[in-house]
Structure formats: C-alpha cells, structure tokens
Amino acid sequence: MLKRFTVSLEDDLLDEFDNYIKLRQYNNRSEAVRDLIRKSLVMQEWEAGKEVIGVISLVYDHHHYQLQERITELQHDFHHHIVSSTHIHMDHDNCLEVIIVRGKAKKIKDLAEKLMAIRGVKDGNLGMSSTGGDLC
C-alpha cells in the first residue's frame, strides 16, 4: 500500500532534483524518491556488514603475464561466495569478466578489491545490491 508524505525543500535543491529526474528519465518525483531511498537502504546493509549480493566486473588484457591465472586462483579462494561468472572476449586483446557474488559485505568487498588490484586489470567495478530487506 502506498502512503503519502510531504517533503519540504529549498527552491534550489528542488530545481536540482527536478533536473536529476529529467536526466534519469523518471516519470515523477515519487519514483525518483523511492529509488533513492532503496539505494540508501542497500548501502546501509553493505555498511552494516550484512548478507549482500553484488556484481564484480573486470576488464583486462589476457596477454598480460599470468593475469588470467591470478584472477582464477583468487576466485577459487573465495569459491563459496561466487554464484556465477561469465567471460566475454571483447576484442583481440581484452576480456570482460562478470562475477556474481553473495555473502557478508566485508568478504565481498575484500574479494572485489583484491581482484581490481591485480596488476593488468584495466577497469574494475563492484555493483552493490542486496538480498534482504523489503526493497520492492
């Protein structure tokens, strides 16, 4: 059931928010506010060290000496946390690896940071999401 509440904002802040809504193509302010609230609840779960789910993406040149082996070895060290991984050959040199992970936030962050810190990894991201809560 949807409930209404009133929010008071300064003109400038509301203008910025409306620009944000336009850029993100929201239909209305309510949907944008709902998403921002959900996002901050997910962040809160990560900060509280709860059970979370995430997506780690890595871009790297597979010619880099032993890089592929290091990435695989590290994933085996964390095998209990890895749900699935997909490898895409982007072009002649570059690979994209997408790893879906779940577990305690601290462990997941640790794995993501270790993977991204491997020499030769050109780009790395951790998409943070959540398994729990009533976010829908």
CB of 10 to Ni ion, least distance (A): 50
- Only one residue has tokens 């009133």, namely 6
- Please check whether residue 87 is in contact with residue 95, taking contact to mean a CB–CB distance below 8 angstroms: yes
Of 16-24, 31-39, 87-95, 113-121, the segment contacting Ni ion by CB under 5 A is 87-95
Instruction: Please classify residue 129 by burial: count the beta carbons closer than 10 Å to its beta carbon, then call 0-12 exposed, 13-18 middle and 19+ buried.
Output: middle
Q: Is residue 71 close enough to count as binding Ni ion by CB under 5 A? A: no
Tokens (6 digits) for 62 = 């597979």
Size of the site for Ni ion (CB under 5 A): 3
Q: Which of 68, 100, 67, 66 is nearest to 82 (CA)?
A: 100
Please report how close the Cβ of residue 58 comes to Ni ion at its closest, in angstroms: 11
φ/ψ of 5, rounded to 5, equals: -145, 160
Q: Which of 52, 58, 71, 95 binds Ni ion (CB under 5 A)?
A: 95
Check residue 112 for interaction with Ni ion (CB under 5 A).
no
Find the shortest distance in angstroms from Cβ 28 to Ni ion: 43
Q: Which residues bind Ni ion (CB under 5 A)?
A: 62, 89, 95
